[in-house]
């Protein structure tokens, strides 16, 4: 009876190197090895099928998520963000944020001339199946979506953001009366 192992030690090392070179994380490998994805990809590897990349089209005219007891004060519609492309989005900071802090109401005035993203983009990114679209570089920051201003249940004006904590992406918010620092950039369109 011959060798029944699927992979030799050198092949395992070669595979690990290839995965690292292509940006795979240990979490990606775990997910990949616990589902039937390998069986799905085998026909692709053997030239019997093709991979079709899913396009992420975001409707920036859609009504944003509305937390219980909140209302929408302002929602700047943005049409269809034809396809999610990180090169189309940048994180913007005012000079005051770069040097210290700025009150949110003052920041809002400065953002009037910026192509801010609204909470419809935030809501799309926060869906479990889309969270891989949020760049790693956003960890440690709270990226705010100023195109939608809410009034919370206490009557305060607030803006929602995407934030990484507890090993997951979540939404959070801050008050316009509060102080905004270098860790609180605005998500804006890079195409101006």
Q: Are residues 68 and 15 in the same domain?
A: no
Phi, psi of 31 (to 5 degrees): -65, -40
DSSP tag of 63: P
Q: Are residues 36 and 78 in the same domain?
A: no
Query: Which tens digits make up the pLDDT trace of 40-70?
Result: 777 877 888 887 766 778 888 889 999 999 9
Domain that holds residue 41: 9-45
Residue 51 resides in a domain = no
Residue 2 resides in a domain = no
Q: Are residues 132 and 175 in the same domain?
A: yes
**117/186 Cα distance (integer angstroms):** 8
Residue 24 resides in a domain = yes
Query: Which tens digits make up the pLDDT trace of 73-106?
Result: 999 998 776 567 777 889 999 999 999 999 999 9
Q: Mean pLDDT of all residues in the chain?
A: 88
Query: Which tens digits make up the pLDDT trace of 145-157?
Result: 999 999 999 999 9
Residue 171 in contact with residue 122, Cβ under 8 Å? Answer: yes
Closest to 104 (Cα-Cα) out of 161, 62, 153, 61: 161
Closest to 98 (Cα-Cα) out of 10, 3, 181: 181
Residue 1 resides in a domain = no
Residue 53 resides in a domain = no
As beta bridge partners, residue 171 has: 162
Number of structural domains the chain divides into = 2
Q: Are residues 67 and 94 in the same domain?
A: yes
Residue 182 resides in a domain = yes
Q: Are residues 185 and 111 in the same domain?
A: yes
Q: What is the pLDDT of residue 4?
A: 62
């Amino acid at each position: 009876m011959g060798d029944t192992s699927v992979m030799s030690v050198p092949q395992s090392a070669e595979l690990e190197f290839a995965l690292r070179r292509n940006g795979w994380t240990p979490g990606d490998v775990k997910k990949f090895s616990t589902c039937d994805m390998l069986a799905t990809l085998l026909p692709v590897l053997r030239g019997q099928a093709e991979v079709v990349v899913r396009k992420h089209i975001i409707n920036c005219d859609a009504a944003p998520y509305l937390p219980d007891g909140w209302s929408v004060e302002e929602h700047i519609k943005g049409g269809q963000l034809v396809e999610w492309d990180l090169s189309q989005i940048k994180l913007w900071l005012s000079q005051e944020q770069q040097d210290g802090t700025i009150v949110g109401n003052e920041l809002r005035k400065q953002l009037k001339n910026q192509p801010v993203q609204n909470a419809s983009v935030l809501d799309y990114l926060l869906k479990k199946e889309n969270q891989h679209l949020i760049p790693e570089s956003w960890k440690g920051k709270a990226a705010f979506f100023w195109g939608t201003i809410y009034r919370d249940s206490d009557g305060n004006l607030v803006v929602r953001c995407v934030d990484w904590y507890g090993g997951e992406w979540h939404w959070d918010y801050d008050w316009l009366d509060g102080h905004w620092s270098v860790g609180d950039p605005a998500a804006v369109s890079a195409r101006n």
